Chains A and B, each alone.
Chain A
Amino acid sequence: MIDTDNLTKKFGDLTAVENLTLHVDDGEVFGFLGPNGAGKTTTVRMLCCLISKTSGNATVGGYQIGSKEDSLKIRKIIGLVPDNVGLSENLTAYDNLDFYGKIYDCTTAQRKENIQRFLDMLGLWDKRNVLAGTFSKGMKQKLAIARALIHEPQVIFMDEPTANLDPEASKTVRDFILQLKKEKKTIFLNTHNLDEAQRICDKVAIMNTSLRATGTPQELERSVSGRKTVVGLEQQVNDVVLRALKKLPLKNLSSEGNTITFDVEDPDKENSPVVEAIVQAGGHVRSINVVGSTLEDTYLKLVRK
């Protein structure tokens, strides 16, 4: 549904997006992760044909970005939830949606049906005749999502849809995205909320001007950061134990309180000598666990590269 090939955007001397190559399948929820200023919004704007690319290629729904004719076709099949909701505050919720329905050539019946359906799903139907300017942040965000869906687009771009929302509103928005996922909508989700990405996304990409990694959240957790062994001792970790462990070829060895942590590739082979070394140094092992790294570990490692 979305393909980019070495997509690059420069603003003067500043490179916002560099050689981005990625693929999003039809019906997939794709999480685009990265810190502020990583080029996530610029990428979305290029894919929505709002700004031009500097070089490279990209297609959305088979249409080429950068082509004048295809740009209009792309904009017909996409819906955008920008980072700023951008509602007309002096219009009611209903009128906001009706306006966009008209722009997309929806019939009166379609507009009525979709407005009721989406406002109902997002719990805003009772507020349909209230001015959008009087809405809370969460309600505005929901209305912006409904606006992006009014013409039933094939692809929905969401730029930080839960940023600055309270936990309850965030959950409603997340649940709604999951509902869209069930309906096999393709969703391109810009976020720096890793928990959200892990819960919602089929695939994620980590970006910091250039693409750092892409895959399922589980793949990224495994492939980039690997696993860790966490050893719990009966007592505080002392210098004798640490000196003994430093003689072993352990990666990223660290200790805190009565816990020792190190990276492990083959726990069956690598953990036994560690336990032996601790016991010989007078330590008493209470527990030993192998834990996978989190998406957060992967993310931090990759964006700091």
Chain B
Amino acid sequence: MRLSKAWIIAARDFKIFRRVKNVWYSIIIFPVVISVLFPAILEYLAIRGSHGLAAPSVLPNLLTSFSFFLVIGAAYVPLGIASYSIVGEKVEKSLEPLLATPLTDAEILLGKAISAIIPTLVAMYAAAAVFMVGIDEVTFSTLGYYYFPNWNIATLLLVLMPVAIVMSVLFSVIVSSRVNDVRSANSFGIFILFPLLGIYLLSETSIITLDVNGLLIISGVLLAVAVALFFVSTKTFRREEILTKWK
């Protein structure tokens, strides 16, 4: 597999995305909401003096929970991009000439994955930076120290988030093979968020903890899911399947 070929596809997709508003919305809205909303909630609680939630003893748990939304966002953002990238080609029927070139199926699939993963990572890391600065700004007076950065967020951003993005992209590839429009691809793609929401709920009920060890275990589990999705997606993303069986 030649990475340079996959990059040509990704670079072409980036050019296309610049002109597709829906992709921009996918990349911008959720990261902006996460990075601004959570610090704003804490600021609001602080102004109201709701010390129950914003008390120094409770705050670290609350911040860990908030941080997990970065992972949920990271899984959500590529749904819109990958769906457009693959279903968009289906709609334009531009996959057939692409498949007639000397590219391998793996190179095309990797190119599509890169084109969804890179904008998501950039958007989510930017959102995470704003989120951390905002939270630190709001919580410093209560905690007496800057909560971020810490090992938890490092594990979350550097291990769990990339795994969640890859898992989401691979799931989008599978969904895209079965639907005919971007909206349906997005609707079905949302299912990939359920396991992450489940993890969040389990953490809220203290069944699991989102400390470094917990995050590494979750990353391992999601990685196993991603590997399984990879095998399904490579079976789905074969030229004969695409030309004869994709609806």
Interface residues of A (CB under 8 A from B): 11, 45, 48-52, 72-73, 75-76, 78, 80, 82, 84-91, 95, 99-100, 102-104, 131, 144, 147-148
Contact = CB atoms under 8 A, between A and B. Distances in A.
Interface string B91-118: 0111111111111100000000000000
Contacts of B16: 88, 90-91
Given A11-B244, A86-B94, A88-B12, A50 B99 contact: yes
A75 B102 contact: yes
Contacts of B15: 90-91, 95
Interface of B: 5, 8, 12, 15-16, 19-20, 89, 92-104, 239-240, 243-244
A75 B101 contact: yes
8 contacts: A50-B239, A75-B100, A76-B102, A86-B93, A90-B15, A99-B8, A103-B8, A104-B102
Nearest to A45: B243
Contacts of A75: 100-102
A104 B101 contact: yes
Contact of B104 (A52, A72, A102): A72
Given A51-B240, A99-B8, A147-B97, 19 more contacts: A11-B244, A48-B100, A50-B100, A50-B240, A52-B240, A72-B102, A75-B100, A78-B100, A80-B100, A85-B93, A86-B93, A86-B95, A86-B97, A91-B12, A99-B12, A102-B8, A103-B101, A104-B101, A144-B97
Nearest to A87: B94
A144 to B, nearest CB: 7
A84 B101 contact: no
Nearest to A72: B102
B100 A100 contact: no
A72 B244 CA distance: 20
A75 B97 CA distance: 11
A82 B97 contact: yes
A52 B244 CA distance: 11
A103 B102 contact: yes
A90 B19 CA distance: 7
Contacts of B104: 72
A145 to B, nearest CB: 11
4 pairs of A and B residues whose beta carbons are closest in the complex: A84-B93, A80-B100, A86-B94, A75-B102
A38 B45 CA distance: 71
Contacts of B98: 86
Contact of B94 (A48, A76, A88): A88
Contacts of B103: 103
A233 B243 CA distance: 57
Contact of B92 (A76, A89, A102, A148): A89
Contacts of B99: 50
A269 to B, nearest CB: 54
Contacts of B92: 86-89
Contacts of A11: 244
A86 B100 CA distance: 12
A247 to B, nearest CB: 57
Contacts of B94: 86-88
B109 to A, nearest CB: 15
A51 B97 CA distance: 13
Given A75-B102, A86-B94, A50 B5 contact: no
